[in-house]
Amino acid sequence: MSQATAEATLPFEEALAAYDPVLGLEVHVELGTNTKMFCGCATAFGAEPNSQVCPVCLGLPGALPVVNEKGVESAIRIGLALNCEIASWCRFARKNYFYPDMPKNFQTSQYDEPIAFNGHLDVELADGSTYRVEIERAHMEEDTGKSLHVGGSTGRIHGATHSLVDYNRAGIPLIEIVTKPMTGAGERAPEIAKAYVATLRDLLKALAVSDVKMEQGSMRCDVNLSLMPKDSTTFGIRSETKNVNSLRSVERAVRYEIGRHAAILSSGGKVTQETRHWHEDTGITTAGREKSDAEDYRYFPEPDLVPVAPSTEMVEALRATLPEPPAARRKRLQSAWGYSDLEMRDVVNAGLVDLIDETVTAGATPAGARKWWSGEIARRANDAGSDVPTYAASLAVTPAHVVELESLVTGGRLNDAMARQVWDGVLAGEGTPTAVADARGLELVQDTGALQAAVDKVIAANPDVAQKVRDGKVQAAGALIGQVMKEMKGQADAAAARQLILDTLVG
């Protein structure tokens, strides 16, 4: 547990009545290349510490880096997917600073010559509107190693007795994607921030350049936020909340910082330009280090690497490999699935598009796929603080289960109420739909003799209703169907019961 204390905050609505937020997001994404950006070391996650290192990524004297071609290609594809211009010539730069997780004492990055710049990404919001996020640049760099501070209670350096460093991550290719300052978001700022990161994640996933696992740190987000008085157009001083590593946290961090900045400004104070730490457990941020805009990293062009100069042919060949943009894909799937706008929006917001796509491909109907993935399982996932795809994966519940469940209904073994019970069993880990139906003895009674007996009994007990049906009031049969189902302890097919009642009464 962090011992951090919360600062004063103004309620969100009050803050937005007086101030307009300005938002800037920096997203670091680790590329899924097999080898590091400037050497041949492996990049697998979770390996024995310091087992994936060499003289280049350890910064030993005399070692010479070589650019990873796949890394450059991925950077260009990301830039193109973000509607950026691609530099015809650019260089790497040394960002000089000393920190133990950076063995070379500089990070190889890009400075004023990014590979991609001036792009945009359109983000769809829950109300169906679109917000265009302008992209400042996407540049190539390398990740740092990881420090582990031992002996303290918080895992931070403060209070630790010693620190360990693991350089396996040092040199893994990163792309940093930086937005231009976003204005005009108003009360939608927290939602826009979250939707942008979600949209970017989907896009990177579709590009297959990264596994974009925020929980493993292969996608990390820094949230810059400032407020300006409603009547002003001059940006305020920003805070930069580092490593906000889930979609939900991005939304919460923006909301928290809006309240905190507003409290400072409305009491006549001055916001400090600084980095902030995000605390997942308490939902607050605390001060990190003060940071000026003109921080002196003494950037200079990297002399050991040749410039990157992609030809037009190369860029166009890479453009041809871009996947269908997620928004276009959603439109195509919506029309193929026959969902209403509202149904599609719910499915998108719940992160179900891929799962439903797989389920339909595996043989389920679009309606069935939507129904089974968005009912009970969504409620349970929410209770578990998770989303349906992650939750389903943790339960080992797959599209094949949905297909099987649906075929048990269409094949006449289960009615809808029974199918719901079977799904409950599947979610409780009792096995496949067929196994659950077998174990729980769920099966429609196929014996028409038993069904006819129940129909006769119910008709005899309800002569008035039966007469109405005979007189042509077919809707009245509904009351009889209910009783027949009860008589059959739910083990009958309602449609069959209805047909039999009508056959018996009106022939």
Residues at the site binding Zn ion, with contacts judged by CB under 5 A: 39, 41, 54, 56-57
What residue is closest to Mg ion based on CB?
A: 26
Q: How far is CA 298 from the centre of its chain?
A: 36
When the beta carbons of 36 and 137 are compared against Mg ion, the nearer one is 137
- 383 with 406: CB under 8 angstroms? no
One character per residue 227-246, x = contact with ligand ADP (rule: CB under 6 A): --------xx-x--------
Sign of CA dihedral 338, 340, 345, 347: negative
Under rule CB under 6 A, residue 113 binds ligand ADP: no
> What are the φ and ψ backbone dihedral angles of 178, each rounded to 5 degrees?
-115, 130
Residue 147 beta carbon to ligand ADP: minimum distance, rounded to whole angstroms: 20
List 9, 107, 168, 179, residue binding ligand ADP (CB under 6 A): 179
What CA–CA distance (Å, rounded) separates 150 from 159?
A: 9
Instruction: Tell the burial category of 380 from Cβ atoms under 10 Å away from its Cβ (0-12, 13-18, 19+).
Output: middle
* Residue nearer to ligand ADP on the CB measure, 236 or 366: 236
Among residues 10, 84, 178, 219, the one that binds ligand ADP under rule CB under 6 A:
178
Task: Select the span of 61-69, 172-180, 195-203, 243-251 touching ligand ADP (CB under 6 A).
Answer: 172-180
In angstroms, what is the minimal distance from the CB of 326 to ligand ADP? 22
Give whichever of 127 and 290 is closer to Mg ion, judged by the CB atom: 290
Residue 354 interacts, among ligand ADP, Mg ion, Zn ion, none and using kind-specific CB cut-offs from 5 to 8 Å, with none
| Residue keyed to tokens 């006769």 | 456
- With binding defined as CB under 6 A, does residue 226 bind ligand ADP? yes
Tell me which of Zn ion, Mg ion, ligand ADP, none is bound by residue 426, counting a contact when its beta carbon lies within the kind-specific cut-off of 5 to 8 angstroms.
none
Residue 33 and residue 190 in contact, taking contact as beta carbons nearer than 8 Å: no
Residue 146 partner contact from Zn ion, Mg ion, ligand ADP, none using kind-dependent CB cut-offs of 5 to 8 Å = none
Residues from 25 through 54 that contact Mg ion (CB under 5 A): 26
440 CB-contact burial (10 Å; exposed 0-12 / middle 13-18 / buried 19+): middle
Q: With contact defined as beta carbons under 8 Å apart, do 274 and 7 qualify?
A: no
Q: Is 488 in the site for ligand ADP (CB under 6 A)?
A: no
Tokens representing 383 are 């209770």
Q: Which of 321, 293, 99 is nearest to 206 (CA)?
A: 321
Residue whose CB is less far from ligand ADP, 206 or 271: 271
Q: Which is nearer to ligand ADP, 22 or 466 (CB)?
A: 22
Q: How far is Cα 491 from Cα 468, in angstroms, rounded to an integer? A: 26
128: exposed, middle or buried (C-beta count within 10 Å: 0-12, 13-18, 19+)?
Answer: exposed
- Number of residues located near ligand ADP, criterion CB under 6 A: 16
The single residue among 225, 352, 353, 369 that binds ligand ADP, judged by CB under 6 A, is 225
Q: Are 92 and 107 in contact (CB under 8 A)?
A: no
- When CB distances are held under 5 to 8 angstroms depending on the partner's kind, the choice from Zn ion, Mg ion, ligand ADP, none that residue 238 binds is ligand ADP
**Burial (0-12, 13-18, 19+ Cβ within 10 Å), 379:** exposed
The CB-of-12 to ligand ADP minimum distance in angstroms stands at 18
Closer of 180 and 470 to ligand ADP (Cβ): 180
Q: Rounded to the nearest whole angstrom, what is the least distance from the CB of residue 230 to ligand ADP in the complex?
A: 16
Distance in Å, CB of 349 to Mg ion, minimum: 30
CB atoms within 10 A of CB 474: 14
- Per partner kind, with CB cut-offs from 5 to 8 A, the member of Zn ion, Mg ion, ligand ADP, none near residue 54 is Zn ion
Site for ligand ADP in 10-69 (CB under 6 A): 22-26
Per DSSP (E only), the strands in 180-306 are: 219-229, 239-242, 274-279, 284-290, 300-301
**Cβ-based nearer residue to Mg ion, 141 or 302:** 141
- Which residue sits closest to ligand ADP, CB atoms considered? 24
Angle, vertex CA 251, rays to CA 246 and CA 254, nearest 5: 120
Q: Which does 458 bind (CB under 5 to 8 A by kind): Mg ion, Zn ion, ligand ADP, none?
A: none
485 in Cβ contact with 507 (< 8 Å): no
Residues near ligand ADP, by CB under 6 A: 22-26, 136, 178-181, 224-226, 235-236, 238
